[in-house]
Amino acid sequence: MKALTFSAFGNSDVLEYIDIPAPVLKKDEILVEMRAIGLNFADVYRRKGNYHLKGNPPFIAGYEGAGIVVDSNNTEFNVGDRIAFADVPFANSELVAVPQEHVIPLPNAISFETAATILLQGLTAHYLATDSHKTQKGETVLIHASAGGVGQFLTQISKLLGANVIGLTSSVSKAEMAMKNGADKVFLYSEDWKSQVLEYCPKGVDVVYDSVGSTLSDSFEVTKACGQVVFFGMAGGDPDFINPRMLMDTSKTLTGGDLWSYLTSKEQRIKRAHQLFDWISSNKITIAPPTIFKLSEGKKAHDYLESRKSTGKIILIP
Residue 252 is predicted with a pLDDT of 98
Give CATH for domain 137-256: 3.40.50.720
Q: What is the pTM of this model?
A: 0.92
Residue 191 CA to residue 170 CA, distance in Å, equals: 9
pLDDT by residue (tens digit) across 211-229?
Answer: 999 999 999 999 999 999 9
Per-residue model confidence (pLDDT) at position 235? 81
Q: What is the pLDDT of residue 125?
A: 96
Q: Is there a contact between 86 and 37 (Cβ–Cβ < 8 Å)?
A: no
Question: What does the pLDDT look like over 52-110, one tens digit per residue?
Answer: 888 889 999 999 999 999 998 777 899 999 999 999 999 999 999 999 999 999 999 99
- Cα-Cα-Cα-Cα dihedral of 141, 145, 146, 150, to 10°? -100
Measured distance CA(151)–CA(197) in Å, rounded: 17
Rounded distance, CA 126 to CA 156, Å?
10
201: left (phi over 0), alpha (psi -120 to 50) or beta: beta
Dihedral sign, Cα of residue 113, residue 316, residue 121, residue 61: positive
Beta strands in the chain (DSSP E): 2-6, 15-19, 29-39, 59-60, 65-71, 82-85, 95-99, 104-105, 140-143, 164-169, 185-188, 205-210, 223-231, 253-256, 291-294, 314-317
The two beta strands, 15-19 and 59-60, are: unpaired
Q: Which of 233, 231, 195, 238 is nearest to 214 (CA)?
A: 238
- Per-residue confidence (pLDDT) for residue 295, from 0 to 100: 98
Q: Hey, what amino acid is at 241?
A: F
Domain boundary assignment for the chain: 2-119+262-317, 137-256
Q: Who's near 31: CB < 8 A, 6+ residues apart? A: 22, 23, 25, 69, 70, 71, 73, 95, 96, 97, 98
| pLDDT in single tens digits along all 318 residues of the chain | 999 999 999 999 999 999 999 999 998 999 999 999 999 988 998 999 977 888 889 999 999 999 999 998 777 899 999 999 999 999 999 999 999 999 999 999 999 999 999 999 999 999 999 999 999 999 999 999 999 889 999 999 999 999 999 999 999 999 999 999 999 999 999 999 999 999 999 999 999 999 999 999 999 999 999 999 999 988 888 899 999 999 999 999 999 999 989 999 999 999 999 999 999 999 999 988 899 999 999 999 999 988 877 767 999 999
Residue 267: CB atoms within 10 Å: 9
Which one is the CATH code of 2-119+262-317: 1.10.10.10, 3.90.180.10, 3.30.420.40, 3.20.20.140? Answer: 3.90.180.10
Question: How many other CB atoms sit within 10 Å of the CB of residue 57?
Answer: 9
CB 35 within 8 A of CB 318: yes
Q: Are strands 164-169 and 185-188 parallel, antiparallel or unpaired?
A: parallel
SS3 103: coil
